[in-house]
Amino acid sequence: MGSERTILQALIPAMEGRTVIIVTHRPAVLKYVDRVIVMDEGIKVADGPREEIIGLLNSGKIPAASVLRNAAKHAGVEISTERQPQSGEVTV
């Protein structure tokens, strides 16, 4: 974890005003990006702004969501584990 932190501390200022592509399985990096593309076995399953992708994770609409949620929990990234009601859905 120390090397990851060192790399991120060096990378964050260098990313300012630039387009940077980061390939990672670490949800902690979500804090530092504007857009996320989620791949599952080489297939793009989600693409959008960070907030939208976190919403998809929360709703369980991304196939790898449970794996990402568990990794996010350990990384300190806040992602709800409760399923969110869908549009028009009533919860009781």
pLDDT in tens, 54-73: 888 777 777 655 566 666 66
Gyration radius from the chain CA atoms: 15
pLDDT in tens, 10-54: 888 988 899 988 888 777 788 888 999 888 777 888 899 999 988
15 within some domain: no
- Asked if residue 72 is part of any domain, the answer here is yes
Q: Report the 10 Å Cβ neighbour count for 48.
A: 14
Split into its structural domains, the chain has a count of 1
Residue 49 belongs to a domain: yes
Separation between Cα atoms, residue 79 and residue 1, nearest integer Å: 20
Is 4 inside any structural domain? Answer: no
- Report the distance separating Cα 51 and Cα 91, nearest Å: 24
60: left (phi over 0), alpha (psi -120 to 50) or beta: left
Note down the domain range covering 42: 20-83
Overall pTM > 0.85: no
DSSP assignment letter at 66: H
- Asked if the structure places residue 67 within a domain, the reply is yes
* Residue 31 falls inside a structural domain: yes
Residue 59 · residue 70 · CB < 8 Å: no
Residue 81 has pLDDT above 60, yes or no: no
